[in-house]
Amino acid sequence: MAENTEKLEDYGLSKDTRPKTLFSKVGIVGAGTVGQNIARMVSSKGLDVMFLEVNQQKIDQAYSELGKELDRMIERWGMTNSEKLGILSRIKGTTEYRNFKDCDIVIEAVKSSSREHSHNIRSEILKNIERHVSRNTIIATNSSTQVITELTADLEHKDRCVSFHFLTPEADARVVEIVKGLYTSQEAYENTIKFANLIGKKVIPVKESPGL
């Protein structure tokens, strides 16, 4: 029997030659409650997650809180300890945007105190993401108060940017909202829908506007 020498690494989104319908690694900026929920949901589907926080203390805190939430799931719904360990093993923390370089989609999920402050900080985060990811990487914001067209106005490649709203506080809600901005390409929009379906979410298409 001939030996199969194909590499699994050849089947992802990060290189120009790879199929655009597959996702293997997801980046998340912000590991508060929302960021942790996204990381847990994505990892539970077998995908690798890289989350970014401002320092190692915040990273350690996020790991601790993720572990406690998974322990609660074990108590309530019968998740096994092996499943918990598997989920945690696929989640890594970083303080460097450069570690998003091989992510297929990066989701901004920071918490902000006001709409003006939110726009400024999220806009800067998206710029930092763009500096370090490949051209094919989808850049998404979880913000429900920001208009994606305005938020990405200063980016070089606005066509791969979308709003991707995970409904909170119910982390395991089956629906997500995806908003196509003025510059968002149909390809990026459709690939975001495919990613949402991959992690078990039903997509609600929403016209661009602030608010859920």
The tally of domains found in the chain comes to 1
Is the residue at 101 inside a domain? yes
What whole-number distance in Å separates Cα of residue 130 and Cα of residue 157? Answer: 8
Query: Residue 120, by phi and psi: left (phi above 0), alpha (psi -120 to 50) or beta?
Result: alpha
Q: Which pLDDT does position 19 carry in this prediction?
A: 42
Q: Per-residue pLDDT tens for 12-57? A: 444 444 444 469 999 999 999 999 999 999 999 999 999 999 999 9
**H-helix or E-strand containing 58?**
helix 56-77
Residues in the chain: 212
Choose among 151, 157, 162, 150: nearest CA to 189.
162
**H-helix or E-strand containing 81?**
helix 81-89
Is the residue at 102 inside a domain? yes
Q: Which pLDDT does position 177 carry in this prediction?
A: 92
CATH code: domain of residue 80: 3.40.50.720
CA 180 to chain centre: 16
Which residue pairs, CB below 8 angstroms and at least 24 apart, start in 111-117?
111/30, 111/32, 111/34, 115/145, 115/146
Residue 166 half-sphere exposure toward CB, CA atoms < 13 A = 29
- Domain of 46? 20-206
Confidence bin at 212 (pLDDT 50/70/90) = low
Q: Per-residue pLDDT tens for 77-100? A: 778 999 999 999 999 999 999 999
Q: Which pLDDT does position 209 carry in this prediction?
A: 66
Q: Which pLDDT does position 172 carry in this prediction?
A: 72
What whole-number distance in Å separates Cα of residue 189 and Cα of residue 193? Answer: 6
Beta bridge mates, 106: 27, 139
Contact 137, 103 (CB under 8 A): yes
Is the residue at 142 inside a domain? yes
Is the residue at 15 inside a domain? no
**SS3 track for 112-129:** CCCHHHHHHHHHHHHHHH
